[in-house]
Structure 1
Amino acid sequence: MIDRRTFGKVVGAGAAGTAAASLIGLGGPAAAASSPPGPGAERAATAPTAGTGDGSFPVLKQVRAGELTVGYAEAGPADGPAVILLHGWPYDIHSYVDVAPLLAAQGYRVIVPYLRGHGTTTFLSPTTFRNAQQSVIAHDIIALMDALRIKKAVFGGFDWGSRTADIIAALWPKRCEALVSVTGYLITDREKNKQPLPPAAEWAWWYQYYFATERGAQGFEKYRHDFAKLIWHNVSPSWNFDDATFDRTAAAFDNEDYVPIVIHNYRWRLGLAQGDPRYDGVEARLAAAPDIAVPTITLDGELDPFTPAGDGTAYRAKFTGPYDHRTLKGIGHNVPQEAPEAFARAVLDADRL
């Protein structure tokens, strides 16, 4: 989930169409930002898709990218400007199952990938280090863009996805047209993470300390679905998701690399696990907390326990380009699935900043 230092059901095709219509007044994409899919990718539908009506994506595809074969959903015209939507933990691509058709209806080519260790995203080699430090996940997405011949995209993310999108916006701004980042600036500073927080704040991060132990790793392996459902209830107290909604996402946790990836991510953040030396230079740049200059909209869920106080002021100075901030009343941590139209609107607005 997000950095320690920074504190139901899908709508059917008809409902999605109604929601999309309410976004039409904002206008479509500002300019084309991508090229047709590369030879390694399966073709997307060329017409905007509105979902299957049962909370799932109509088509899932795979492409070799870097050290992975990445599973992803795609919606919208293949020649439209790209939007890449990145999920967090413990979630998957279905956090965007209502957002994607709204953006596709506006002419965007929407790509929603499974992060490493989730869903159908797998490693090409069984000997590859199951590394989940922050910079390697960002490299995964750059490799995906290259594989799909996407030169530049609008990024939207929450949780791990916000952090990944923030990194790309900060270090590879030429690949980032605009940014929507839930909970603001989430680039991890491991030195700052060594400093204690007040007890109430530490309590919210209980699972990180659990994961730091061998008992925690074994418990997570054994109870991965129960664990995720508990987190969902705790961080989205007003979201009344049903079992079918949870089960669609929980299937992504059956990936054989899911537990190693999650455990390594949190242990790495606390300085309890080493990363890959190949990324030391990138991590040094990230430790300096680089500013983000691309057009950005930050979103906070009012009921998210990780939302910092101050209506975005805690991280405002890190965004030096065109900027807007929005707090979503009555919304918890999983912003795109709890408030899909507000998230889609933020993407459209960010692209126009």
Structure 2
Amino acid sequence: MSPAPRAYDVSLPTHAVGVLEWGPADGPLVVALHGFPDTAQTWRRVAPLLADAGWRVAAPYLRGYAPSGIPTDGGCSVRALVADARALHGLLGGDGRAVLLGHDWGAITTNAVAGDPASPYARHVALSVPPFPAMNPSPRTLGTWAGAMVRQPLHSWYIAFNQVPGLAERDFHRLAARLWRQWSPGYDATEDLAHLRDAVPDREHARTVVSYYRALLGPGITPALAEPVHPLLLLHGDRDRCLEPGLARLAGATTVGGAGHFVQLEQPEKVAASVLSFLS
């Protein structure tokens, strides 16, 4: 059984942040960001493996996911998430060795930080969502891109669903259960959905969480459009049904066999081995 994480809070200007932590208190820092619809518990299988190698893994609950607070500024854009990730480096005691690791929305944030020349992190790891610019086709890859884009709208319907005021909040947990089934076929998400119910206990929290998608078309998306300028490892499940593996390969991602979208839960040993190899 994996060791239980330490739990504590830190404070950002707009909200308190709940953090789970594994590993030695004096180890180099890995800040691990979860995605949608998920929680910091998504790292419970990978973090102990990184901790065994001497890393201190700190997994914050993102804005709107309890025990983190709902931000007083209402910000749910990529720009706001990037600001949180940068601030957490200092709040969590990061130094020049620190690593930013993210999945899904955490990966979008990680990719954006990797595109900032002033990133405080030495290395960056993104799971299941490559940088947006890296998924653009070239003349050589146009066929691969076109084939993947034919299938991608069948996966991305939930983005439009989350734009509908009131509807997404009311049906949040029903939507979440459906997405876990769809995105990682065959994976049993019972434990993860229980953690999610604790993290999104009411419509106010659900409204904040789905507002990440409602902010996509605003100016706060700009950091996610930057090309990475720092070392960045991309990992992607070969059975992912959220974002087409073909698009990820186009971006240079390493494919993880036997995994859907929640690759860190489905193949934790493979993910940890790839991350540790990259960090070494």
- What TM-score do the two structures reach when normalised by structure 1? 0.69
Report the counterpart of residue 192 of structure 1 in structure 2. Answer: none
Change (3 A) 1:251 1:172: farther
- 4+ aligned runs moved over 6 Å, structure 1: none
Alpha carbons 1:169, 1:175 under 8 Å: kept? no
Instruction: Give the match for residue 215 of structure 2.
Output: 268
The amino acid that maps onto 2:127 is V
1:141 correspondence with 2:85: yes
AA partner of residue 158 (structure 2) = Y
Give the CA deviation at 1:329: 1.7
Task: Note the C-alpha offset of 1:166.
Answer: 1.1
Contact 2:111/2:224 (<8 A) preserved: no
Residue aligning to 2:276:
348
1:201 deviates by 2.2
Q: Is the 8 A contact 1:182 1:300 kept in 2?
A: yes
Match of 2:183 in 1: 235
Point out the structure with max Rg over C-alpha.
1
Q: Give the residue type in structure 2 aligned to 1:211.
A: N
C-alpha displacement at 1:138, in angstroms? 1.1
Q: 1:103 aligns with which of 13, 26, 50?
A: 50
- SS of equivalent to 2:31: strand
Q: What is the percentage of aligned positions where both structures have the same residue?
A: 27
- For the 8 Å contact 1:70–1:144, the answer to whether it is kept is no
SS of the aligned residue for 1:139 comes to helix
Matched, 1:309 2:246: yes
Displacement of 1:250: 2.6
Amino acid at match of 2:73: F
Q: How far off its partner does 1:223 sit? A: 2.4
Within 2, Cα distance between the matches of 1:249 and 1:262?
A: 11
Cα distance, 1:311–1:149 mapped onto 2, change above 3 Å = closer
Question: Unmatched 5+ residue regions in structure 1?
Answer: 1-11, 14-49, 52-56, 190-196, 317-324
- What SS is found at the alignment partner of 1:297? strand
Q: How far did residue 213 of structure 1 move?
A: 2.2
Instruction: Pick one of 181, 196, 209 that aligns with 2:160.
Output: 209
- Aligned counterpart in structure 2 of residue 70 of structure 1, from 17, 20, 25: 17
Change (3 A) 1:286 1:223: closer
Structure 1: how far apart are the matches of 2:21 and 2:81?
Answer: 20
> Are residues 1:159 and 2:104 paired?
yes
* 1:290 maps onto 2:230 in alignment: no
Kept in 1: contact 2:130–2:248 (CA 8 A): no
Distance 1:265 1:212 in 2: 10
The separation in 1 between residues aligned to 2:45 and 2:128, in whole angstroms, is 20
CA contact (8 A) 1:87 1:160 kept: yes
Match of 1:222 among 147, 170, 183: 170
1:1-25: CA deviation from partner (whole Å, max 9, x where unpaired): xxxxxxxxxxx14xxxxxxxxxxxx
- C-alpha distance 95-329 of structure 1, shift in aligned 2 (>3 A): same
Partners of 1:117 and 1:255 within 8 A in 2: no
SS at match of 2:161: helix
TM-score of the two chains, using structure 2 as the length reference: 0.85
**Superposed displacement of residue 219, structure 1:** 2.7
Structure 2 residue identity aligned to 1:133: S
CA distance in 2, matches of 1:121, 1:185: 26
Distance 1:75 1:101 in 2: 6
The residue type equivalent to 1:212 in the other structure is Q
- How far off is 1:187 after superposition? 4.4
CA 1:284 to 1:330, structure 2 compared with 1: closer, same or farther past 3 Å? closer
Give the distance between the partners of 2:207 and 2:192, measured in 1 at CA.
Answer: 25
What amino acid is aligned across from residue 198 of structure 2 in structure 1?
A: A
State the Cα distance separating 1:299 from its structure 2 match.
0.9
Measured in 2, the distance between the counterparts of 1:263 and 1:170 equals 25
CA contact (8 A) 1:236 1:303 kept: yes
Is 1:338 matched with 2:266?
A: yes
- Structure 2, unaligned runs of 5 or more: 135-147
Shift of 1:174: 4.6
State the match for 1:93 in structure 2: 40
